[in-house]
Structure 1
Amino acid sequence: MNQVGLSNTFSTLTEFHLPFIATSIIGNVCRLSILKLNNLYSSSYTTNGTILYVNFTACIFMGILQTIKFEDSNIQTCLTTGYCGTFSSFSTYIWELFIHTVLRADEYPNRGYSICEFLIGNIIELSVSISGLKFGINMGLILKQRFNFGTRKIGAVIKATLLFLSIPLLILMLVLAIVYRNKFNSYWCLSSLFAVFGTYGRFYLSKINSKPLSQKWHFPLGTFMTNFIASTVLSIFFILLQRYSSDAIKKLVIYSLIEGLTASLSTMSTFMNEMNNLSFVKSSVYFVITVFSSYSMFIIILGSYKWSRGLDHLE
């Protein structure tokens, strides 16, 4: 009996958990790479370093995967929840709304412009992300029509590749995080380790979506909770980042938690996919509740701290 249990544990580890860990690390690195690429030059069409490009790209991949579904549910989950979910970030999007509506409010002619920024930010983010998902869905349909490929074989190849990369990626990120711990750029490595925990947290919370209450109200409660919790924790981390801005080691760890744990715990690609599967009214209610509740936590926690003590190091 013990041998059977051990065999099942090993099978679950190789069939799901190790590939899932690999996709979470790769997704985190992809997100940070696009953010860094966009931040390398000035005079960008949009704000440098914005999450907009990341969420658009992640939603494209999510759309493709919703059309070209792999027969192996484990690899499908790894690529959607693991890779696309970690690649995109909802909490970072809420943080950017806070920057333009609160931190930069003094730059506007009057406070009323903050409302305009809030509306514009939501319109652009929603439009770009949902269009990326729609584009991916249609691209997937074209690929299925023009290329007769077997998802079973491709899925097996992807799973084997992820399984082969999982442990080396973990070791590589851990070693680099230790070796370059005194350099701020090592947040790439450390955040990728934290991203694994964030992705697992989102994966297990997403199971609430199948509960009777979520099904009855057509409200993905699990995804809502991940985005809400991630946004709340992120606002707390920014207070800590403000307080320990002069301590290099603490700053590195907190920033890695921001870019790894909270960014991976939240998701924009899954959020958009769920909205796409709901009716217009229900998806609108889902969007408004999620955005306003998450943004409200930023106002309550980080906004209160700004007005009482200031956020000079974040501005």
Structure 2
Amino acid sequence: MQDLSVNDFNKNNISSSNTLSNVLAVAENVENSDVDETIQAEEKEVEELSTELIERKAIVFAILIPFSIIGVLIRIGLINLHSYPGTPQGTVSLWKGLTTGFCGSITTFSSWILLIFNEYTSQHIPHRSVAYNVLASLADIGITIGMSVTGLKFGEHLADIIIPRHQIRLGKLYKIVQKPSKLNEFTIADILCLGFGIVSFILVVALASTVQVHRNIIFATVFAPIGTSIRCYLSKYNTLKKHFPLGTFAANLSGSIVLGILFLLSNGIVSSQLSCEIIEGLANGFCGCLTTISSFANEITRLPRKHAYKYALVSVLMGQVAMILTIGIYHWTIGLSSTSTCN
């Protein structure tokens, strides 16, 4: 038998390894090709079986207005119910109005970020230890995300009871087609949605200019549709980066920055009652509807686990950076007033 040198042995191993790698690469390419062909076939089938649904941007933004107003009023009402003395610490347009306008306006990411910041900086409990501050902020993070995801899953279960999933799979497939908003092509439903949205906005603006009581709430209803509309526009960027919804992230981060500035203004920098009411209206209406926890919770449950943790962590950390830059630096260098007329 011929003896093999160490170099010959290594060469043979390298050659075998390369051959195996080539075989695996070819097999992987074949598998990927089969997967791509399967996906293309399924997409073609969906294209052939689907029924087109027309989406007009003007109608979508119009229907966001009343649902934004309703959503922000419900959120303010829930906050007031929680803040009692002694409290312990089917069309595309309608669907978008309910999800983006209504649910997105009830939940607010920016206020949650501000609450976390207030907990670990201990602004409302000045003598609490650092360890308790950290625990309180972690509790706010865990409870909010936990309850949001729980509510989302509970809603899915209710939907499955009302309309079982097998019925949905056997039903019609719909494809959303965006078309320009030409008045001569509007249906009666389009005209009603457009008119309802415009009348709703005119009504709240008229109330804000005439009513002298509870103006902070009325101002919130005026600014709410603006925040919701911007969030709806930014949502188109959610597919720009795979596994990271840039649109929702941009809306939540920008809303947190604006809320931090408003919080700073309301704590000693402005003093007039009207200014305070406008600031509170912007905070509850504009920032509250620009940012959303409902979409945030939905996204972290839909993303692959690794990307979901990354998205959630980056969102919370960047929100805290926004609070530190807008509130923290001023608070730690100059100090916030404890006798502001806005409190």
Q: TM-score, normalised by structure 1?
A: 0.77
Q: Indicate the SS of the match to 1:219.
A: coil
Q: Partner of 2:223 in structure 1? A: 194
Q: Partner of 1:43 in structure 2? A: 86
Q: Is 1:85 equivalent to 2:129 in the alignment?
A: no
Q: Is 1:210 equivalent to 2:239 in the alignment?
A: yes
Q: Indicate the SS of the match to 1:42.
A: coil
CA positional deviation for 1:247: 0.8
Counterpart of 2:127 (choices 100, 104, 107) is 107
Q: Partner of 2:200 in structure 1? A: 169
| Superposed counterparts of 1:272-311, under 5 Å | 272-311=297-336
Q: Distance in 1 between matches of 2:304 and 2:143?
A: 21
Q: Distance in 1 between matches of 2:269 and 2:215?
A: 18
- 1:75–1:159 Cα contact (<8 Å) kept: no
Q: Partner of 1:23 in structure 2? A: 67
Counterpart of 2:244 (choices 219, 228, 237) is 219
Letter in 2 for 1:176: L
If you compute each CA radius of gyration, which structure gives the higher value, 1 or 2? Answer: 2
Q: Is 1:234 equivalent to 2:263 in the alignment?
A: no
Indicate the structure with greater helix content: 1
Q: Is 1:137 equivalent to 2:156 in the alignment?
A: yes
Q: Distance in 1 between matches of 2:196 and 2:284?
A: 22
Worse-superposed segment, 93-102 or 263-272: 93-102
Structure 1 unaligned runs (5+)? Answer: 1-10, 48-69
Distance 1:87 1:157, change over 3 A: farther
- 2:61–2:229 Cα contact (<8 Å) kept: no
- 1:22–1:163 Cα contact (<8 Å) kept: no
Overall identity of the aligned pairs, in % = 29
CA positional deviation for 1:162: 5.4
Q: Distance in 2 between matches of 1:17 and 1:288?
A: 31
- CA offsets per residue over residues 111-135 of structure 1, 9 Å max, x none? 2222111211111111111101111
Q: Distance in 2 between matches of 1:232 and 1:77?
A: 26
Q: Partner of 2:18 in structure 1? A: none
- 2:109–2:288 Cα contact (<8 Å) kept: yes
Aligned length: 269
Q: Indicate the SS of the match to 1:43.
A: coil
- 1:90–1:266 Cα contact (<8 Å) kept: yes
Q: Distance in 1 between matches of 2:294 and 2:189?
A: 21
Q: Partner of 1:246 in structure 2? A: 271
- 2:59–2:193 Cα contact (<8 Å) kept: no
Q: Distance in 1 between matches of 2:249 and 2:305?
A: 17
Runs of 4+ displaced beyond 6 Å? 148-151, 156-161
CA positional deviation for 1:245: 4.2
Distance 1:13 1:106, change over 3 A: closer
Counterpart of 1:116 (choices 129, 135, 138) is 135
CA positional deviation for 1:157: 12
Q: Is 1:271 equivalent to 2:302 in the alignment?
A: no
Q: Distance in 2 between matches of 1:289 and 1:264?
A: 21
- CA offsets per residue over residues 250-305 of structure 1, 9 Å max, x none? 11111111111111110000000111101222111111110011012112220111
- 1:91–1:262 Cα contact (<8 Å) kept: yes
Q: Indicate the SS of the match to 1:237.
A: helix
Distance 1:135 1:23, change over 3 A: same
Structure 2 unaligned runs (5+)? Answer: 1-54, 173-186
Q: Distance in 1 between matches of 2:94 and 2:329?
A: 43
CA positional deviation for 1:145: 3.6
- CA offsets per residue over residues 18-60 of structure 1, 9 Å max, x none? 2121211111112112112222x2333x43xxxxxxxxxxxxx
Query: CA RMSD, aligned part only?
Result: 2.8
